[in-house]
Amino acid sequence: MAKELLDKPILVLDGGLGTTLEDEHGIKFSFKTPLWSSHLLIENTSTLRKVQQDFASAGADIILTATYQSSFDGFENTKMSNKDDDSIGLEEARKYMLSAVDLAREAFAGRPGLVALSLGAYGATMIPSTEYSGAYGPMNGDDLFKFHMDRISTFQDNQKAWQEIDLVAFETLPRIDEVRAVVNVMQTTANKPYWISCVFPNDDRCLPDGTTIDELIESLLLPPKGGARHHHQPWAIGINCTKIHKISKLINAFENTSKRSSLDLPRLVLYPDGAGNQVYDTKLQQWVGDNSDQKPWDLQMADIIQEVTQRGAWRGIVVGGCCKTTPYHIQQLRKRVDALK
């Protein structure tokens, strides 16, 4: 069944888990909850289950696990309200991370659906988070390889969880060395489809570290230098947590680069935020700005999907939402996608 779903030309992804927990369920995140939405794997699991079920019921084909900010350091720095001891140890952290896979699968309530293992950028685990800037301090490419390898090994080493995972989603990557590190990590997991989505917070159509789309496409689609003869290419590449008004020009840039380089594009994965003109202040840990006078998010997405499918440059498209997109947004997006068929 997973193979049949993976071959669909358009798949609908879920929406913004953390912001939906905040906006619709009154969950409060702060520096005291460094795991962000992953904190609900420890406490208040019932609310996490409800939100993921709501996204699945809204029509999402893919549910992301609540592991975007998960890291061993994050668990170690988390204080549990019902315990007096200092921190969450390595084995307990692994247990919580693995539990996210079952929760995501349960969201479909027996219906066909895909579980995507959500693995955010290294910067998503920092306090304050730095996935929009790529300011990682002394971390280099080798360090990032080890970080991502250690984290994915938690799931890969557990046969039951690994079998339940249909896709691996590396999200909101802001740096080319992190992109390359992730590609290298995935050369060791050749039987698991994966996507890499990057963030474009600026107006220059570059990653936050200044990497051009030409450089990015080359690193995503060409075999790593000195790597194995077989290249485990991403199942999808794309954009997330980026303003929706930037998306069309970014996709065009991806397509133009692939033509110039004679590279075939895989699937496109696209899940911009639904925040309009609002931006997230990582220091204040709140959204600031105005969100008025916006064309409905689902209509903007439908226009983009139609443009992309008409050009036919991609093998397929995965569409969903990031920050500030709710089950309602995904329900409306599902209707737009179904109307295009």
In the block, which residue shows the tokens 């301090």?
Answer: 137
Q: How many CB atoms lie within 10 A of CB 89?
A: 13
Q: How many CB atoms lie within 10 A of CB 83?
A: 10
Which helix or strand (DSSP H or E) is residue 118 part of? strand 114-120
Query: Alpha-carbon distance 152 to 147, whole Å?
Result: 9
In the block, which residue shows the tokens 């809204």?
Answer: 58
Residue 241, annotated ligand binder?
A: yes
Residue 323, annotated ligand binder?
A: yes
Structure tokens at 72: 């061993």
Which helix or strand (DSSP H or E) is residue 145 part of? helix 141-156
Contacts of 313 (CB under 8 A, 6+ apart): 255, 258, 265
Query: Alpha-carbon distance 56 to 54, whole Å?
Result: 5
48 to 39, 52, 95, 167, 333: CA distances (angstroms): 10, 6, 16, 20, 22
Q: Is 214 left (phi over 0), alpha (psi -120 to 50) or beta?
A: alpha
Query: Alpha-carbon distance 273 to 244, whole Å?
Result: 7
Question: Which residues make up each annotated binding site?
Answer: 241, 322-323
Binding positions for Zn(2+): 241, 322-323
